[in-house]
């Protein structure tokens, strides 16, 4: 018998098909355990951005992010799952880990979509899912 129960699931979202599959898997797991899901969208923001004053880019990105999170919330609600949303700025992998390890949140599982890159490309470029797998102290489910 499994000793630990999954009560809170963290799902990083970016609008890609892989992140949608990750959300679908998280919903499936949440239904089995009666868990809640928190969808997080992290906007990459380098420390010294050259485009700091360009408001239209930021505004259009916010609209897209709201759309992605709204669609995720609707999908979760259709399956009877409580969905919370979180928007963060900064380094994407670091933000996901920081939120996942937050003592107040108490997440039990991260479900993340993989971009499915080959080993050679990943060696040079790295990936968010690879970073999360290696930095996380809680279980990570990678969905292809």
Condensed to tens digits (0 to 9), the pLDDT of residues 38-56 reads 999 998 877 665 555 545 5
In a domain? residue 108: yes
In a domain? residue 3: no
Torsion of Cα atoms, 141 then 121 then 117 then 90, to 10°: 60
Q: In which domain, by residue range, is 83 found?
A: 8-143
Spatial CB neighbours of 54, under 8 Å, sequence gap ≥ 6? none
pLDDT per residue over 95-112, tens digit each? 999 999 999 999 999 999
CATH number, domain containing residue 46: 3.40.50.620
Q: What is the pTM of this model?
A: 0.86
């Amino acid at each position: 018998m499994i000793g630990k129960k999954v009560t809170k699931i963290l799902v990083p979202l970016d609008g890609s098909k892989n992140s949608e599959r990750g959300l679908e898997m998280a919903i499936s797991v949440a239904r089995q355990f009666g868990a809640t899901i928190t969808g997080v969208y992290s906007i990459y923001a380098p420390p010294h951005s050259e485009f700091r004053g360009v408001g239209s880019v930021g505004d259009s990105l916010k609209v897209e992010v709201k759309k992605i999170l709204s669609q995720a919330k609707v999908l979760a609600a259709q399956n009877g799952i409580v969905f919370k949303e979180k928007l963060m700025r900064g380094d994407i992998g670091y933000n996901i880990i920081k939120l996942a390890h937050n003592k107040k949140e108490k997440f039990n599982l991260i479900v993340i979509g993989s971009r499915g890159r080959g080993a050679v490309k990943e060696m040079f470029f790295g990936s968010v899912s690879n970073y999360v797998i290696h930095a996380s102290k809680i279980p990570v489910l990678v969905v292809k």
